[in-house]
Amino acid sequence: MQLKLVAGNSAGTVTAYCLSSQGPTHDEIDFEFLGNLSGDPYIVHTNVFTQGKGNREQQFYLWFDPTRNFHTYSIVWISQQIIFLVDNTPIRVFKNGESIGVPFPKNQPMKIYSSLWNADDWATRGGLVKADWTKAPFTAYYRGFNVQTCTGSCTSSVSGRTWQNQELDAYSRRRLRWVQKNFMISNYCWTDIDIDIDQWCRRTNHHLQPHLRISLSLSLSFFHFQTHILFFKPNTLSLHLITWACPLSLLRLISKSLIFYLFSPNHF
């Protein structure tokens, strides 16, 4: 499917393109595009539901403005894996993990759905930014819809291999790593981490200044995976730092380095 997304202030809107079956135990494969304020980037929200259960979100920024031109968004759904692609560049691969007890959507036929809907209770900054209805109508454009189905040894347009044996080639694997390193902003697989800042400061002999309170949290939420630093001064500053997936020990090292920087005399 080729899409050109809502231009301008699209906060609160979601442009969707998905596969879904019906019923309380439905399967679903989602491409959703979360609108934002003018000048702020769209977020590509992907999800996989199996037997009515989702919570397998991965989110990405795009490396282009998706409102200026049409771009191609594709889903390859075969029994071994699901591949999400943008302009033929893979951004996500969801492997079949049934052998280790992870359900995989392969037993229910799914229909294709597209929509543009109001989701300002969650879509933009977790619902903090609402849709501005003075900017309506919100318009997204769809074209070039194409479906390839195969039950035999058909050739894939993505890899040139047969559908049933499709794997990413070396170039596509490099592109996948490039996207996930530079543009992934959340992943349901990332580990939740809670750090007791006050306890760490006492243990390392750091002291909070009276006018400063730090709340440092590395957490995976439905909307963001980021470090929040809140300065309670006359002019309140909220700074958001994106934190990428990495080993727990490295996350702790990053956190402590950040705290050391904040409390260093030269910083103030």
**How many whole angstroms separate alpha carbon 97 and alpha carbon 94?**
9
CA-based nearest residue to 73, from 49, 62, 117, 212: 62
- To the query of whether residue 57 is one of the catalytic residues in this protein, the response is no
**Conformational region of residue 78, where left means phi above 0, alpha means psi within -120 to 50, and beta covers everything else:** beta
Contact (Cβ atoms closer than 8 angstroms) between residue 40 and residue 185? no
| Per annotation, catalytic residue among 32, 57, 98, 167 | 32
98 included as an active-site residue: no
Cβ 220 vs Cβ 164: under 8 Å:
no
> For 133, which DSSP code?
G
> Cα(136)–Cα(113) distance, rounded to whole angstroms?
23
Length of the chain in terms of residues written: 268
Q: Which regions of the chain does DSSP assign to beta strands (E)?
A: 2-4, 13-20, 28-34, 43-49, 58-60, 71-77, 81-86, 89-95, 111-118, 141-143, 184-187, 218-220, 225-231, 237-242
Phi, psi of 50 (to 5 degrees): -135, 125
Q: Which residue has the tokens 């809907």?
A: 117
The residues annotated as belonging to the active site are 28, 32
